Amino acid sequence: MIGQRRRAGRHEIPAHAPRSAVVTGAARGIGAAIATELVGRGYRVLVTDLDAAAAQATADRIGAAGGFAHDVTDPAAAHAVVRAAQELAPLGAWVANAGVGFDGTLTELSDAHARALVEVNLLGVMWGARAAVAAFREQAAAGLAHGGEIGATVSLSALGPVPGLSVYAASKAGALSLVSGLASEVRAEGIRVHAICPDGVNTDLLRGMKPGGQGQALVRSGTLVTTEQVAAGLVGMFGTGRVYRTIPAWRGAMLRLTALLPGPALRLEPAMRAVGARKARALRPE
């Protein structure tokens, strides 16, 4: 469902901004960092989130064009957000960042959490991408603008097995597969599609995982990256043919290896979990 658009208070929309952009799940964390990066690059940005007040507060803070309430699991809402963005300027970028990160094994997850992982992390990307492609095609037919950018915040877990996060990882693997296939389907139209696959990011999603749980420990066994690094990595692919990148690159190579050799690699899981648990304990306040 989409709420009323509000203007960004004291901030003026840059007169030179040629294109609009939408970032979902952007009230905080990675989404807010991506929205900030796009504002800095001259886009007229709409910040969307389930929390309308938080979306507007972020829009005010970063100088975005406005904030919306937006449920990414509703296909019609994506088209409504696109129309709102086009009121500002031709759509130039759609970033599917909204995501949930419920941890737990396949048998531990509740039905509601399992469904939400698929509906937000995979279908949310799908509905947004479909709406964006339709807008880009409409704009090209009208002679308003050619092509555009579609971005998605995925995860390093999309590249290999992650015990304790199996459903989350599956939803992200599906999103990465979707992005990769779509990139080929629309390339001839000047529409470029990208995904960023970061290692753990110190956001509410990671902090909300079960303390000492298998999923959180495995994520913390790697390198925590900043929201700004993720934003720069994703937006830095705009205008290029690169489909996805991992941050850091070495962790991406390691996860791809576990996908090729899951049996031997998963025998290392207890040791990796122990490393993550030690790092988590080191971060706890005394």
Write down the pLDDT at residue 281. Answer: 45
Give the pLDDT mean for 201-220: 59
**Domain span including residue 169:** 6-283
Share of the chain above pLDDT 70, in %: 74
Q: Structure pTM? A: 0.81
Write down the pLDDT at residue 79. Answer: 98
Q: DSSP state, 201?
A: B
Write down the pLDDT at residue 86. Answer: 97
Question: Looking at the domain assignment, is residue 238 inside a domain?
Answer: yes
Question: Looking at the domain assignment, is residue 145 inside a domain?
Answer: yes
206 touches 225 (CB < 8 A):
no
Conformation bin of residue 43: beta by default, left when phi > 0, alpha when psi is -120 to 50: beta
148 touches 136 (CB < 8 A):
yes
Question: Looking at the domain assignment, is residue 1 inside a domain?
Answer: no
Other CB atoms within 10 Å distance of the CB of residue 252:
20
Q: Using CA atoms, how far apart are residues 267 and 247, in angstroms rounded to an integer? A: 24
- Going by C-alpha positions, the residue among 67, 91, 66 that lies closest to residue 149 is 91
Question: Looking at the domain assignment, is residue 82 inside a domain?
Answer: yes
Write down the pLDDT at residue 164. Answer: 87
Give the pLDDT mean for 182-206: 89
- Residue 74 burial (10 A CB sphere; 0-12, 13-18, 19+): middle
Secondary structure of 69-109 in HEC code, one letter for each residue: EECCCCHHHHHHHHHHHHHHCCEEEEEECCCCCCCCCCCCC
For residue 233, the domain's CATH number is 3.40.50.720
Q: Is 168 designated active site? A: yes
Give the pLDDT mean for 135-140: 98
Question: Looking at the domain assignment, is residue 102 inside a domain?
Answer: yes
Question: Looking at the domain assignment, is residue 269 inside a domain?
Answer: yes
Question: Looking at the domain assignment, is residue 14 inside a domain?
Answer: yes
Write down the pLDDT at residue 203. Answer: 63
Number of domains in the chain: 1
Amino acid at 231: A
Question: Looking at the domain assignment, is residue 230 inside a domain?
Answer: yes
Q: Which residue among 94, 127, 168, 238 is the active-site one?
A: 168
